[in-house]
């Protein structure tokens, strides 16, 4: 679901807002989208992906992230920096009013190509994320229900059930999002496909930038079939200026 947009590449920052227990489910989702995914105008970060398969084998990927929001639309560039065999491979995620654009640069061939249609349902870098998980359309076009509040650990949390619109051709039937009441930090997301749990995302650690913004430092995505992907964010800066040219398709391999 594209609530991942609020925790992953386009949305490292988590809003701090006043407690309001009378919020409707749509208001909670709107705050998640408007504050999380556009809570900063320009930022960069480094992160590490650790991808464990169900047989116990592990692969690691290091990435650099550049992200910028203008006119309420985010553009995010992801560049692989390690290991050597994938270094220089890059992706550009461009938020649109309709279907988001996803571009990939292949350094071995020196070409940039668009990822579209069913390709977006493929695994991103062999992880438990799909390309489509980094888009925003499921949340924006979905319908929402507020379920009974629960505790996640010691934290009182809202539970929002989101059902993506049929026109989004989503990977998921529905998603349950668990949001801490005190500050709207998303603690857990459950993804369902064909009535069964497809994967579960958990925020395992939080940190702050020098300016005081809270962000999800460690996130895991676990499959009920075995295996998981762990993402650790480091070197996050929310006070940098990024040019439009740096986030253009033509400069994706530069």
Tell me: the pLDDT tens digits for 143-202? 889 999 999 989 999 999 988 877 777 788 898 989 888 877 788 989 999 999 999 999
Closest CA to 178 of 149, 198, 158, 202: 158
* CA distance readout (Å), 31 to 45, 183, 198: 23, 11, 26
pLDDT confidence of residue 37? 40
CA distance 193 to 130: 14
Tell me: the pLDDT tens digits for 73-102? 888 899 999 999 999 999 998 988 767 889
pTM for this one?
A: 0.82
- DSSP secondary structure code for residue 130 in this structure: B
For residue 38, pLDDT over 80 is answered with: no
> What region, left, alpha or beta, does residue 75 occupy, with left being phi > 0 and alpha being psi -120 to 50 degrees?
beta
Helical segments of 95-199, H only: 137-141
CATH H-level superfamily of 2-248 = Lipoprotein localisation LolA/LolB/LppX (2.50.20.10)
Q: What residue ranges do the domains of the chain occupy? A: 2-248
In which element (H, E) is residue 29 found?
helix 25-31
């Amino acid at each position: 679901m594209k609530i991942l947009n609020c925790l992953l590449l386009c949305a490292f920052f988590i809003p701090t807002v006043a407690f309001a227990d009378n919020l409707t489910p749509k208001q909670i989702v709107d705050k998640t989208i408007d504050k999380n995914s556009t809570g900063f105008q320009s930022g960069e970060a480094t992160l590490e992906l650790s991808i464990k398969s169900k047989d116990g084998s592990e692969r690691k990927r290091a990435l650099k992230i550049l992200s910028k929001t203008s006119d309420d639309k985010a553009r995010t560039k992801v560049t692989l920096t390690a290991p050597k065999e994938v270094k220089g491979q890059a992706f550009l995620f461009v938020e649109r009013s309709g279907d988001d654009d996803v571009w990939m640069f292949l350094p071995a061939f020196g070409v940039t190509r668009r990822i579209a249609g069913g390709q977006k349902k493929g695994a991103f870098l062999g992880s438990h994320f799909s390309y489509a998980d980094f888009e925003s359309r499921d949340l924006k076009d979905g319908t929402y229900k507020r379920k009974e509040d629960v505790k996640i650990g010691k934290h009182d949390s809202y539970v929002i059930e989101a059902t993506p619109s049929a026109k989004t051709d989503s990977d998921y039937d529905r998603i349950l999002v668990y949001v801490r009441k005190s500050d709207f930090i998303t603690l857990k997301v459950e993804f369902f496909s064909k009535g069964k749990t497809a994967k579960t995302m958990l925020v395992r650690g939080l940190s702050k930038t020098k300016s005081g913004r809270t962000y999800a430092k460690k996130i895991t995505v676990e499959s009920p079939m075995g295996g998981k992907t762990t993402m650790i964010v480091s070197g996050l800066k929310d006070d940098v200026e990024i040019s439009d040219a740096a986030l253009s398709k033509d400069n994706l391999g530069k």
